[in-house]
Structure 1
Amino acid sequence: MSFNPGQISPLRGITRHITGHNDAGKAVIHSSTPGHWQSFEQAAMAFNVVYTSQFPANLNKDTDITKHEESQQSEQLGLVNPDGTSLDYGVVLEGEIEMILEDDESVIMKRGDVAVQRATMHGWRNPSDTEWARLLFVLQDCQKLSVAGVEMGEDLGIATGLLKPSGN
């Protein structure tokens, strides 16, 4: 399928939800922004670099977010950033899913939306009583994180004892 230059894709736009921590160390939504698409091949294709940072990512004082924003503003960012990546990505493939963070902060994610989990306590809930949801997760390691002078650690929640801890 090809598109005429200037034609808008019939696909649903995506939203990127980046998590972070408040001053008390609780998980919050840092930002929710629409995807920024770069078109090429006479608008027959487009790409969106959802998030990139150094690897392993340094979450302390939002260093990774600053590096991502600098990469985007440099207008030098291609499909990848040298030595770059992100953290844990959660991509909604089908249906809708509620991403729940601490202090009852939540967001409904729709097909195509991406969560960039930055070492935050979170949970998932399907808001539908009748429809299934399918998510894709890409999990990556990060440097140790300290928030408000407290070193954050891995918490497997209800999976404790079922999954082996990674050490972070």
Structure 2
Amino acid sequence: MSNEEPKSHSATSTSAELNSNLRSTKTIITGHNTEGKAIVQSARPAAWTVFENGLMGFNQIYTNPSPPDLNGDGDLKFHDDKIASGKLGLAVKSGTVCRMVDFAPEYVCMMHRTQSLDFGIVVEGEVDLILDDGNSTRLSRGDVAVQRATIHSWSNPSTTDWARMVFVLQDTKPLVIGGKRYGEDYGKGTEGIPPSGNDD
């Protein structure tokens, strides 16, 4: 366990490819043909939004209201429109976000909280989960963090290799502890990330 305070970084964003040592990735989307048979409808390459001068990147895989409407590809239109709007926060109101995040060696993201229930799966490397009580827990490839609206940070402890996580975030009811409301808090250095708009 560590009591070290995580570093804070500027989070201005640009669209570009990450210069990482991780392999490229794609999203396979299924659908149905006119006879109702399952098909692979499309294969979408990763589209990275780069933060912190290339130290962290988001690949937005999917976002939708809950439950999503699959009729007439309504779910895909919702996702594409949300991404094109540039107004997707870390979470989404009354819905779900699936996102891939890459972290550069020794990168530590800002302390933050979302009004959401998050499943964070390490798919490459190791990542430290740092909480606001100062404790740090190391996750290895295949480990899963169930993040229950706590304020936290992620750190890549490697000095040489990038790390990758996949997150699924679900909107939740407001969190109240001891009569105090704990809403979304992006912390310092989050310019370029819109608010989620789910804790108004």
**TM range, normalised to the smaller chain?**
0.3 to 0.5
TM-score by length of structure 1 reads 0.47
TM-score by length of structure 2 reads 0.40
